[in-house]
Structures are given as structure tokens and as C-alpha cells.
Amino acid sequence: MNGLIRVVPRLDIKGSNIVKGIQFDGYRVVGLAEEVAELYYNEGADELIYQDTVASLYRRSIDLDVVKKTAKRAFIPLTVAGGLRTLEDIKSVLRSGADKVAINTAAVDQPQLIREASRVFGSQCIVASLEVFRRYDGRCEIWTDYGRQRTGIEAISWAKKMVELGAGEIMLSSINQEGTGRGYDWELTRDISTNVPVPVIACGGAGSVDDFFVVASQGGASAISASSIFHYHYAKSLDKEHLKSRYCLRSGQQIDTGNVDFMMEGYGGIREFQVMPASIKKVKSALLEAGMRVRV
């Protein structure tokens, strides 16, 4: 881990809306992508991740209009993932305002796409997205189609291969931890980060500000991505009238208290799946107080 730790909100998209689920399932609508992106940009996010949750599954192209709207309202690096299968797909997304692309399913189907894309666009633009499921025996396996399809591929060897082919960054998502609020899989993050010479973005599991410190200090993450902890902080803000006057956190209409209740109660009412919402500024302050270097 070198340099500044980046704090990167993740926007999981279905259609024009940001959605949130648990372990890549049970989605609830949170808000319009471009509006929440602008909010997080103004609140101090270092970068944003835009993940289309169904593009790879349905083998369709990503919605470039939403990418363009997001890029026009958030003037920070934007990584776009989901449904990217060809060099032309990548070119279209970069021309629409993205700074980087993250590739998972297509990389498994055709690994040479990573080599070709890094050669054409530069390795700094190409992020290898690893969706990893930790099995009961401890083995960590790559899954595709946004956490729906098993591959049998071992995670560490795959991360090494992606870097060898030219990926300039790894986006590491723990399927087991995602949306649960139980913390990041820092051991998996450590195992990946110590085996590749490129930055690793840790995704999946943030339940409190302490989790950011753990995955940075013990896992070696160069960047930390989160969604629930931020989404539900801003949806539950005490200054709701102020938020309503600037941002609409549910389909352009109103703050969705039902979705906040969903997150606080857990998927299917399982109360152990909870988060302690926090602002981006609070997360950065906590990292600074713990001796981490962040952009303020």
C-alpha cells in the first residue's frame, strides 16, 4: 500500500437507478445515478465506481446515456463496469466520460481482451474486476455475471494473470461480505495485494468507519469502495429538507425510508445484516486520525 488511500463510493446501477442489495441479490432502489454521483462528488469522494448489475448477465451493452449524465455531474475519476465485451465497448464508455473500465465476465471468457485493451487504451484505464466467493473450505473462487456464475478459477492466480496481461488495477469484491455490514474480507484483500504489484480496490462489507481502517492497514488496500454505509447515511440525514432541495434519493421523487428500513433490518429481516451509516467526510477523518494518508 503506497500513497493516499482513496475513498470510492460504488454505484450499483439497474436501469437509471442506483440499487442496493445484500450478497449481490435482493435489490432495492436508492436513487438516480447522476444525482447521487453529484452528491458524493461534492461530499469529497476521490473516485466513483459505476457498476451495471445486469449488463453482463443479459449480454447487453451498458447504458451510455447514464454514464454521460454521471460524468457531467461528478468531476472525479469514474470507473465503469458491466457488459464490456469488446474494444469497441470500452472505447464507447471512455468516450462517454469514463476514465477507467473494469472487466470481469468478459475477461474470464476471453482473457486476451485484457492484453488487447491495455495495449490500445493503456493499462491505467484497464481494471480487472474480481468477484470472489469464499467457499466453506476457505478456497476463494472467481464468479462472473455479477456474482451469479461459478468458474472454478482460484482468485490469487487469476489476479496475477490479469496483471500479467496488462491490468493496471484490481477491483476486488467479496460476494460473501457484500451488503452485510460485517466488514471487508481483509485477509482476501491482503492475499491479493501482496501478490500483485498494482493497486487493489477493496469492495464489499463496510459496516462502520472502523472497517475502512482494517482493510487498509491489515489488507493493504490502496482504495476502499463502499455503498450501503454512504447511501443510507445521506438518506437518513437529519437535514432532509436540505437534501430534498438539492438531491432526490429515490427515483427523482423523495427519500425512500422503506429502503433505509430494509438496510437497517437486513435482507429478509435478518437483523445481524446491518450497517452504521457514515458520511464520506467522517470516514476520511477516521482514517486520518488512525494515521492513514487520505485526500482532504
The CATH number of the domain holding residue 75 is 3.20.20.70
Judge whether 71 lies within some domain: yes
Q: Which domain holds residue 17?
A: 6-289
Q: Buried b vs exposed e over 223-262: b needs ≥16 C-beta within 10 Å?
A: bbbbbbbbbbbbbbbeeeeebeeebbbbeeeebbeebbeb
Would 294 be classed as within a structural domain? no
pLDDT for 253 equals 42
The half-sphere exposure of 194 on its side-chain side, counting CA atoms within 13 A, is 10
- CA distances in angstroms from 281 to 38, 42, 180, 181, 277, listed in the order given: 15, 11, 22, 19, 12
Q: Is 210 a catalytic residue?
A: no
Q: What is the mean pLDDT of residues 228-250?
A: 59
CA atoms within 13 A on the CB side of 256: 23
- Determine the angle formed by the axes of helices 155-164 and 186-193, rounding to 10 degrees: 40
Does 88 map to a domain? Answer: yes
Residue 131: active-site member: yes
Residue listed under C-alpha cell 496481461: 165
Question: Per residue in 168-188, pLDDT tens?
Answer: 999 999 998 887 788 999 999
Residue 250: inside a domain, yes or no?
Answer: yes
pLDDT at 83: 83
- Residue 295, in any domain of the structure: no
In a domain, 86, yes or no: yes
The tally of domains found in the chain comes to 1
**Residue 172 falls inside a structural domain:** yes
Report which secondary-structure segment, H or E, holds 173: strand 169-174
d(CA 119, CA 94): 15
pLDDT at residue 119 in the model: 98
pLDDT at position 249 over 80: no
Query: What residues pair up with 225 in beta bridges, in sequence order?
Result: 8
- Do the beta carbons of residue 214 and residue 186 sit within 8 Å? yes
Q: In the prediction, which pLDDT does 146 show? A: 66
Residues 6+ apart with CB under 8 A from 101: 79, 80, 81, 84, 90, 93, 94, 117, 125, 126, 127
Active-site entry in 38, 63, 131, 185 = 131
- Per-residue confidence band for 105, with pLDDT thresholds at 50, 70 and 90: very high
End-to-end C-alpha distance for the chain, whole angstroms: 19
Please check whether residue 241 lies inside any domain of the structure.
yes
